A and B are shown apart, each in its own frame.
Chain A
Amino acid sequence: MADLTGERSRAQMLLIGAFALATVLVVLALLLNSAIYTENRATRGQATVNSGQAATFVGGLDRNVGSLVTHLNEDLDVDTYSVLESEVVTNTNEITAGIESQYANRGFLVEVPDISASSVTHGTRIVQDTDTLISGPGNSPDWTVVSNQEVRRFELSVDPDAIPTIADRFTIKVTDSASDTWEITFHQTGSGEEVTVFPPVGSSESCTASVGTTSVGITNASMAGRPCPALEPILDLPGPYTVEIRNGDEASGTYELTVDDEKGDLSTTYNDPGEGTSATDQPWAVPAIYDVLTEFEYRSLALRFDGEILVAPGEFDD
């Protein structure tokens, strides 16, 4: 009797053991397959919320409205604030209507409400477009360009003299809202132009170019079209800024910048455009648009994104 009991239980153990192993293998297969499938779903771009498309839309809106602002600012036939304002408003609304239509055609709902004159900030564009000395409107070598303004798109193309003493070189002084003054000096070395940036505390840094006349972008930290690391700390300064020029007679060239106050409210009086190309007619200033505020909403199947952007091409924190 005892033998029979032992044998029977062994045979059942075999069956139970087989069942257990079978269950383990099936569950293992299930687990591995779900891991593979989950990874596959996770790598699909469209299955996830595709925020890249929304970012492209906002970037495109910024770029296209910015191109309109630059286009209108550079059109000297539009020279009063009322005409500038109405042109910006009309054309921005046309552009955004076109963008809305294009996106709707592809299945995205974007809404950019029409802007009005209150979304537009008046500014002034200060330009020297003839290759003469960088002296002020009254031909003074030391002069204040702007006092306590926001500045964008400050670009120069200058040919400085070779001056050994730093204090006598052509210098741009930028003072920020914390009263820190940064000095940017330009001079010719034997091998080309050199831009040196002197911070209020600490040592200076330089960028060089191998030609005598190069373009320098203050608001985008570039020299001769390439990044200039020495200018990058200037981008982080808090505005508004006071920009002064020292020894403007030690360099000649062209430049322009855009500031956020009306021409009549600036501390320096500038000429009007088109008066001539001699040194006394340069630089001149013309009414311009400083920035445009526009709201937007983007809606796709999986994502809704709304906000507002301030379009100001070439602003310091661009």
Chain B
Amino acid sequence: MNRGQAHTLEGIVAGMILLASILFALQSTVITPLSASTSNQHIENQHEALARGLLTVTGEDGTMKDALLYWGQEPDATENRFHCASSKTKHYTGNPDHNLCSLTQSELNTRDHLPPNAFGKQLEETYGKGIATNVRLRYLDGSNHETQFLVFQGEPSDNAVSETSTVVLYDSDRLRTSDGGEGAKLKNAEDVFYAPDNWPGERIYNVITVEVTVWRI
């Protein structure tokens, strides 16, 4: 009888060990950043590569520089801003003030928060719906670094990616009017433009870093 109980006990223990190990193996899935977030790591890498390509192409063909210079003084405006940006801020957030904008609704970008110029078109074609974008411009003011937003759609999420590119502005570069034509030279527009002439008396006006941040919403 003792032997029978011992055998039973050993059998039960063996079964319990086996059950426990199977349960352990089934329960131990790895918690990775892939499993509990709004974004997939592969998609993030893809967005980063797209941003780098966008900045390279627009830097080479001049559309980025045109977008930086797409600034002016709208008639009857108390502040200068990017053409047809919202009236409350100087940058594009998605609420263009039609009273102060000389472009018609069809000339504005179909996605209001993007600039109505070639750079905005490129941004629109690169990223589809469901992607939020911030474009931040950092310029030099003596030894300080100041920021001016071009596009602002809110604080980025934890899964945002960003890429940067540098552009040099010259004193002889001209501001762009809202229809893409040429306006005043930068050296005459220092009190109107967001960035100051960091090298007064020299050819170079300023060195601006363009930072594009994208994330999924």
Q: Which residues of A contact B (CB under 8 A)?
A: 4, 7-8, 11-12, 14-15, 17-19, 21-23, 25-26, 28-29, 33, 36-37, 40, 43-45, 52, 56, 59-60, 63-64, 67-68, 71-72, 87, 90-91, 94-95, 98-99, 101-102, 105-106
Interface residues on B, range: 35 or more
Chain B residues with Cβ under 8 A from A95's Cβ? 168, 204, 207
8 closest pairs, A vs B, by CB?
A98-B207, A22-B21, A18-B14, A29-B25, A25-B25, A102-B209, A40-B32, A11-B7
* B163 and A56 form a contact (CB under 8 A): yes
Q: Is the interface of A mostly helix, strand, loop or mixed?
A: helix
Instruction: For chain B, residues 15 to 30, give those with C-beta under 8 angstroms from any C-beta of chain A.
Output: 15, 17-18, 20-22, 24-25, 28-30
Give min CB distance, B105 to chain A, whole Å.
31
Chain A residues with Cβ under 8 A from B18's Cβ? 18, 21-22
Find the A residue at minimum CB distance from B29: A33
Give Cα A18–Cα B202 distance, bound, in whole angstroms.
83
Q: Which residues of B contact A (CB under 8 A)?
A: 3, 6-7, 10-11, 13-15, 17-18, 20-22, 24-25, 28-30, 32-34, 41-42, 44-45, 48-49, 52, 55-56, 59-60, 138, 140, 143, 145, 161, 163-168, 170, 172, 198-199, 202-204, 206-207, 209
Give Cα A101–Cα B145 distance, bound, in whole angstroms.
9
Partner of B30, one of A14, A36, A63, A94: A36
Chain B residues with Cβ under 8 A from A60's Cβ? 59, 165-166
Q: A56-B164, A68-B168 in contact; A91/B140 too (CB < 8 A)?
A: no
Chain B residues with Cβ under 8 A from A91's Cβ? 202-204
Find the B residue at minimum CB distance from A67: B168
* B207 and A102 form a contact (CB under 8 A): yes
Q: A36-B32, A52-B52 in contact; A94/B138 too (CB < 8 A)?
A: no
Find the A residue at minimum CB distance from B65: A67
Find the A residue at minimum CB distance from B28: A29
